[in-house]
Amino acid sequence: MGIVFYLATEGAERGFGLNFDILETNLFNLVIIIAVLFYFGRQFLGTILSQRQARISEAIQEAEQRVTAAATQLAEAQQNLAQAQDEAKKIRANAEATAERLKTEILAKGEAEIARIQETAAADLSTEQDRAIAELRQRVATLALAKVEAHLKDHLDDSIQGELIDRSIARIGG
């Protein structure tokens, strides 16, 4: 940079120098500045650009690795989902089979209990009916005996009683 400054200031006295009049020498100054920037900045910009290119390449490789890892994880997750769905189907089928079996057992137990209750009710009814019939027979017999006794008291005198006794003895003894 020192050389450029020297040429611009002291070289102007000897016939070479920079003319800072924008209207007269704008194009010439731009060419000189671009040449200086190209000469001194080429290595600097090349280093920056190569570093940037290396970072971009690394970022692309990392992104590709992440995509590959994500695809692998997605495949594993899909496989796990399929296994979980199969397991859920098996569990649901087992639950439905168990529910059906329990339903059948409960219905069978209910029917057996109903049959037992009906048998008990029928037995109780039969027993109650037999008891009622026995009680009615006993009452009828009691009433019949009372009526017969009343009839006999009214119509039975000493002569008829003697006759009955004789007949009864004849039957027994001959």
**pLDDT given for residue 21 in this prediction:** 63
When pLDDT is cut at 50, 70 and 90, the band that residue 165 belongs to is confident
pLDDT at 3 over 80: no
Phi and psi, residue 21, nearest 5°: -80, 115
Cα distance between residue 1 and residue 9, in whole Å: 13
pLDDT at 9 over 70: no
**pLDDT given for residue 111 in this prediction:** 92
Cα distance between residue 105 and residue 96, in whole Å: 14
Q: Is the dihedral of CA 149, 155, 160, 162 positive or negative?
A: positive
Does residue 21 come out as left (phi exceeding 0), alpha (psi in the -120 to 50 range) or beta? beta
Q: With pLDDT > 90 as the criterion, what percentage of the chain qualifies?
A: 42
Q: What is the mean pLDDT of residues 123-146?
A: 89
pLDDT at 11 over 60: no
Please compute Rg for the chain using Cα positions: 66
Q: Please tell me what DSSP assigns to residue 20.
A: -
When pLDDT is cut at 50, 70 and 90, the band that residue 23 belongs to is low
Please identify which residue in the block is written with the tokens 């399929």.
82
When pLDDT is cut at 50, 70 and 90, the band that residue 26 belongs to is low
**pLDDT given for residue 166 in this prediction:** 86
